[in-house]
Structure 1
Amino acid sequence: MSDRILVVDDDAGIRDLLCEYLNAAGMDAHAAEDGAAMWRWLEHNRADLIVLDLMLPGVDGLSLCRAIADRIGIPVVMLTARGALIDRIIGLEMGADDYMPKPFDPRELLARIKVVLRRTRQFPPENQVDDVALLHFGGWRLNTRLNRLISPGGEDVLLGGSDYLMLRLLLNHPHRTLSRDYLAAQVYGKDRGPLDRSVDVCISRLRQMLGEDVRNPRIIRTVRNGGYALAVDVIVEA
């Protein structure tokens, strides 16, 4: 089955160009002109990934990205004419899985889409247990079949693709320091540059979901000059 991509952009020219290019590359591309049209389409159709423009009329792309991460957990590649570092960081904080400034080469976008789809469909490579259903840690539970985080009070938190992979990777290696370079390679499928904060942004987002004390996190610990480590035990329930 072809990967189904939904392109959300208010520029009809860009929508048509991307859909034509992605379809020619063997994908099943569809288009929506704004957030309202996106939600209407998603009510009746499945999408494997959303290409989302930041500057949309009505509800902006950042708000839509956060809503997508919270409600349906579909991977998002964000497009924008604004290429400043702070905009990229905000996009990642809102749950985007990757970010491309306009103008862009459709070939690069296609390559990034393939990378995001590949890594959001894989499990962390080590110590994988195929029939795991629940991982208990620090009063929380991760349902690995539904990609849902369950709070100590029983509330569900729907995780985006990169958030799920990052948390799952940490849970597979409790009490072990994982470097930022290793986490970037495993979660984002790329080498980490000197200014790349994608790992730190994702960890910060996970800590917020877990209700961590920013100054003294209990579950995900920062290891100075090392990376991050899960600081609680993990109990596997098959």
Structure 2
Amino acid sequence: MTSPSILVVEDDPPLRTLLARNLRQFGYAVRTAVSGAEMWVALKAGPVDLIVLDIMLPGTNGIDLLRTLRQQSEVPVIFISARGSETDRIIGLELGADDYLVKPFSTRELVARIGAVLRRHAKDGSSGEPRNAGAVTFDGWTLSQQSRELRSPDGALVDLTTAEFDLLTVFVQNSRRAIGRERLIEMSRDRIGDSSDRSIDVMVSRLRRKLSREGADAPIATIRGVGYMLSSEVMPA
């Protein structure tokens, strides 16, 4: 079985070396880059399963790199940064980061976060089930747990980050039921990472944008004083 490949983008030499060595000890295949320019070169050389991306980089910073990356790829990204305010984490989530880890952190914590993100992205094709196994429809949209895909009513594939997909799954599994923000955090904590009321609001806002169609609002309603609710009926696909 091929080891998952990790690209570490970090400009601090001692930390970059330490991360690469420790991740290899945990069985990962690791490549490194010191800047955004080197990151693009590494990605052109071959795909990776996950990127550990420092925010404060020389030249183009991690925020701008992720913004560009999300225009062409949904490869999982874990931000690492010495800046740990809620605002910083929210910006990372808004851009589509899968997790955000504040420096200094332990190797075991990073490995745990990487493992959690990779599990969310894993697609188990060994069961022999059809591609749409476990798929459901709501308001014309089709959500497939097997392939971890969301398709629009006209069949177009919609790009979702893992956090967005997992949050939408929570709504689908509890359709037409109001869910408070704290409950959403509790139900999604293992998959979203560091969560707060504000980060849930950000992800709901992103889901609404992606679920909106011309002439039709997204089927996620705000329940004043409670939280949110998927207002559509969910049916097997």
Q: State the TM-score bracket (shorter-chain normalisation).
A: 0.7 to 0.9
Task: Confirm or deny: 8 A CA contact 1:147 1:159 kept in the other structure.
Answer: no
Distance across 1 between alignment mates of 2:94 and 2:159? 15
Q: Does 1:37 align with 2:45?
A: no
Aligned to 1:223: 223
**Change in CA separation of 1:19 and 1:67 when aligned onto 2, cut-off 3 Å:** same
Contact 1:92 1:98 in 2 (8 A): yes
Deviation at 1:50, TM superposition (A): 1.3
Aligned residues: 230
Q: 1:7 aligns to what SS in structure 2? A: strand
Contact 2:123–2:146, Cα closer than 8 Å, also in 1: no
Question: Which stretch shows the higher mean deviation, 179-188 or 46-55?
Answer: 179-188
Q: Deviation at 1:52?
A: 0.8
Can you list the C-alpha shifts for 1:36-69, whole angstroms capped at 9, x where unaligned? 3323322343322211111223332123323444
The separation in 1 between residues aligned to 2:74 and 2:211, in whole angstroms, is 17
Kept in 2, the 8 Å contact 1:162–1:188? The answer is no
Deviations 1:53-102 (A, max 9, x none): 11223332123323444432222210112222211111111111211222
Q: What percent of counterpart residues are identical?
A: 40
| Alpha-carbon shift at residue 19 of structure 1 (Å) | 0.6
> How far did residue 28 of structure 1 move?
1.9
Equivalent residue, structure 2, for 1:167:
168
User: For residues 60 and 194 of structure 2, what CA distance do their matches in structure 1 show?
Assistant: 32
Q: CA-to-partner distance for each residue in 1:176-208, whole Å, 9 max, x for gaps?
A: 233434433443307998955332221111112
Unaligned runs of at least 5 residues, structure 2? 125-129
The 1:194–1:11 alpha-carbon spacing in structure 2 relative to 1, beyond 3 Å, is closer
CA contact (8 A) 2:182 2:197 kept: no
Tell me whether 1:96 sits opposite 2:88 in the alignment. no
Aligned to 1:116, the other structure's residue is in SS state: helix
Q: Give the direction of change, closer, same or farther, for the CA distance of 1:7–1:221 in structure 2 (3 Å limit).
A: same
Q: Which residue of 1 aligns with 2:81?
A: 80
TM-score (norm 1): 0.79
- Residues 84 and 156 (structure 1), Cα distance of their counterparts in 2 relative to 1, 3 Å cut: same
**Structure 1 counterpart of 2:90, one-letter code:** I
SS at match of 1:52: strand
Aligned to 2:64: 63
Residue range with higher mean Cα deviation, 74-83 or 131-140 = 131-140
* SS of alignment partner, residue 189 of structure 1: helix
What is the identity, as a one-letter code, of the residue corresponding to 1:140? W
Equivalent residues of 1:71, 1:158 under 8 A apart: no
